[in-house]
Amino acid sequence: MSGAAAYGLDLLVFAAHPDDAEIGMGGTIAKAVRAGQRVGVVDLTYAEMSSNGDVKTRQREAAQASRTLGLAVRENLGLPDRRLACVPDQLDRMVEAIRRHRPRVVFAPYIADRHPDHVQCGRMAEEAVFSAKLRRYLPDGLPAWTVDSFFYYYINGVHAPQLVVDVSAVHAVKMEALRAYRSQFEPDDSVPDRVATPLTVGYLDSVEARDRLFGQPKRMAYAEGFAAAGPVAIELF
């Protein structure tokens, strides 16, 4: 089932951890919200294995970032950090989220990334999108739901995108949302047990540089890149 009148969300973004969605497509989220679309983020874990920041801090930061972006929905499935797997109990939670939110488009992390959780989240989302449309899968009282499109966004690394979204006008909003995650991106020697990670040494600068790189071929100041999980229809005539 799908149809314009039946959509609950325009865009639904799956993320392994709070801050993944903002890194990969915070500008696209902000641009969609500015255009009047309803956007939701479903974080799979509370990132309880993070080197810096506890769960309470990271949830407070995620709430601030959500307000900055203007999200209609943000929820957390509470799956185990660093133990994400394509197993029925975890996949069923994602299928239920898709059916409950009835999105037009689903996004998930690209399946080539230095962080195994990002890779697993992308693979799990692909499985969940497929299963959500099967009317005999998971009889949970929610009707089957078929999304119109499924895209991957990039978190780490620079892969050649199949399509780019111009986020120049909202890039400052994206960076403001990312700066909400101070526990992850700001080195602070005054915090007990604070450790240096790849995120605390110029990571936000690298995100901005990548957005510039993705935009340059199309003469955009900033762009975010995506890979399509299937054919993309465009109107030529």
Q: Is the model's pLDDT at 2 over the cut of 80?
A: no
Q: Is the dihedral of CA 116, 152, 57, 102 positive or negative?
A: negative
Lookup: tokens for 152: 């991957």
Contact 24, 64 (CB under 8 A): no
Q: Which residues of 107-130 are buried (b: 16+ CB within 10 A; e: fewer)?
A: bbbbbebebebbbbbbbbbbebbb
Hey, is 153 helix, strand or coil? Answer: strand
pLDDT for position 158: 81
Position 4 confidence tier, pLDDT thresholds 50, 70, 90: very low
Q: Is the model's pLDDT at 111 over the cut of 50?
A: yes
Q: What is the mean pLDDT of the chain?
A: 94
Position 52 confidence tier, pLDDT thresholds 50, 70, 90: very high
What's the predicted TM-score (pTM) here? 0.95
pLDDT digits (tens, 9 = 90+) for 226-235: 999 988 888 8
Q: Which of 35, 37, 41 is nearest to 12 (CA)?
A: 41
Give 125-146 as a DSSP string. HHHHHHHHT-TTSS-SSSPP--
Q: Phi first, then psi: what are they for 164, rounded to 5°?
A: -130, 150
Domains of the chain: 4-228 (3.40.50.10320)
pLDDT for position 189: 65
pLDDT digits (tens, 9 = 90+) for 18-49: 999 999 999 999 999 999 999 999 999 999 99
Lookup: tokens for 127: 């499985």
Distance between CA 120 and CA 220 in Å, rounded? 31
Distance between CA 150 and CA 180 in Å, rounded? 28
Query: Region 121-137: what's the mean pLDDT?
Result: 97
Sequence-ordered strand ranges (E) for the chain:
9-15, 39-43, 73-76, 103-109, 149-153, 163-166, 223-228
pLDDT digits (tens, 9 = 90+) for 150-197: 999 999 988 899 999 999 999 999 999 999 999 999 866 666 778 888
CA dihedral 143, 44, 81, 159 (to 10 degrees): 120
Contact 105, 93 (CB under 8 A): no
Query: Region 93-106: what's the mean pLDDT?
Result: 97
pLDDT for position 81: 98
Hey, is 66 helix, strand or coil? Answer: helix
pLDDT for position 218: 96
| DSSP 8-state secondary structure symbol assigned to residue 4 | G
Report the percent of the chain where pLDDT is more than 70: 95
Going by their DSSP bridges, the two strands 149-153 and 9-15 should be labelled as unpaired
Query: Any residues with CB less than 8 A from the CB of 50 and at least 6 apart, and which?
Result: 17, 58, 81, 183, 184
